[in-house]
Amino acid sequence: MRTMKPEQVLEILQKHNVHISLDQAGIILDFMFKLARLTLTNIERT
């Protein structure tokens, strides 16, 4: 379940002077969720 939207990613990154498009924010968010899922899967295996 996703609780964060690309708009929120944009807002957070803009506070740190990182300027990207809404599409790029969505790509980053997708990647972060995939990475989190992989991490949890690896933790469960150990």
Kindly report the three-state secondary structure assignment for every residue of 1-46.
Answer: CCCCCHHHHHHHHHHCCCCCCHHHHHHHHHHHHHHHHHHHHHHHHC
Residue 2 binned pLDDT confidence (cut-offs 50, 70, 90): confident
- 1 domain residue, yes or no: no
Number of domains in the chain: 1
Residue-level pLDDT at 46: 81
Higher local confidence (pLDDT), 2 or 17: 17
- 37 domain residue, yes or no: yes
- 12 domain residue, yes or no: yes
- 11 domain residue, yes or no: yes
- Residue pLDDT, tens place only, 9-43: 999 999 999 999 999 999 999 999 999 999 999 99
pTM (two decimals): 0.81
Q: Which domain holds residue 36?
A: 6-45
Q: Is pLDDT of 1 > 80?
A: no
